[in-house]
A and B are shown apart, each in its own frame.
Chain A
Amino acid sequence: SQQGEEDPQALSIQEGENATMNCSYKTSINNLQWYRQNSGRGLVHLILIRSNEREKHSGRLRVTLDTSKKSSSLLITASRAADTASYFCAPTHTGGFKTIFGAGTRLFVKA
């Protein structure tokens, strides 16, 4: 399958805790992106990590990429209630430049 597969499917944490979501994929990629989707809204691009990068930061977000294991993780530090959303990984595969979304991880941050 070309799509990313997120794990866990759902995650519930307390405000202030860290949230870690994982993504696995099966074919070679150019890059991998993470998106957030709040209930009933469009997807918002969070971060892009290229295949030759191992780690990237953006504010409270930290993304890692391990191309040997074909996996990525998204860490949200000091979570807030406003982080409650679905998070999707989207690998872009070499050759066809297709970006395929997984089913997402539903994060619920309790205040």
Chain B
Amino acid sequence: EAGVAQSPRYKIIEKRQSVAFWCNPISGHATLYWYQQILGQGPKLLIQFQNNGVVDDSQLPKDRFSAERLKGVDSTLKIQPAKLEDSAVYLCASSPRQGGYGYTFGSGTRLTVV
């Protein structure tokens, strides 16, 4: 079974620039999550999709972050404009259904904002 694919692996941008991350979940997984993990902390949930609908985006800074999941498969997370404090690893995860049933995480995108 192929895992969760994320790209790019690394990205360095200047503050106020924009950046986009891509995630391809495991085939057939209805639920997709984006987490932000700042160095030394646990992953923080940004947004949760069920198929192509948003289930929870209460922690997403909507003035600068946006996410979509077209056709209930791939997803993109965008930051515009980026701030220094956005430097983190952005992790995508998927699971067959809601309810916390064993997420599979991708390797993440490490973003550095300078």
Q: A interface vs B, CB < 8 Å?
A: 3, 30-31, 33, 35, 41-45, 48, 88, 90-92, 96-104
From A31, A41, A43, A102, B100 is in contact (CB under 8 Å) with A31
From B55, B99, B105, B108, A92 is in contact (CB under 8 Å) with B99
Q: State whether B98 touches A97 (Cβ < 8 A).
A: yes
Q: State whether B102 touches A45 (Cβ < 8 A).
A: yes
Interface string of B32-43 (1 = CB under 8 A from A): 000100001111
A88 to B101, CA, bound (A): 15
Residues of B within 8 A of A97 (CB): 55, 98-100
From B42, B48, B105, B108, A3 is in contact (CB under 8 Å) with B42
From B41, B104, B107, A45 is in contact (CB under 8 Å) with B104
Q: State whether B42 touches A42 (Cβ < 8 A).
A: no
Determine which residue in A91, A96, A99, A103 has the highest number of CB atoms from chain B within 10 A of its CB, and name it: A99
A45 CB, min distance to chain B CBs, angstroms? 5
Interface SS of chain B: loop
Q: B interface vs A, CB < 8 Å?
A: 35, 40-45, 48, 55-56, 91, 93, 98-108
Q: State whether B107 touches A42 (Cβ < 8 A).
A: yes
Q: State whether A43 touches B99 (Cβ < 8 A).
A: no
A96 to B58, CA, bound (A): 12
Q: State whether B44 touches A101 (Cβ < 8 A).
A: yes
A38 to B35, CA, bound (A): 17
Q: State whether B99 touches A41 (Cβ < 8 A).
A: no
From B42, B98, B104, B108, A104 is in contact (CB under 8 Å) with B42
A103 CB, min distance to chain B CBs, angstroms? 5
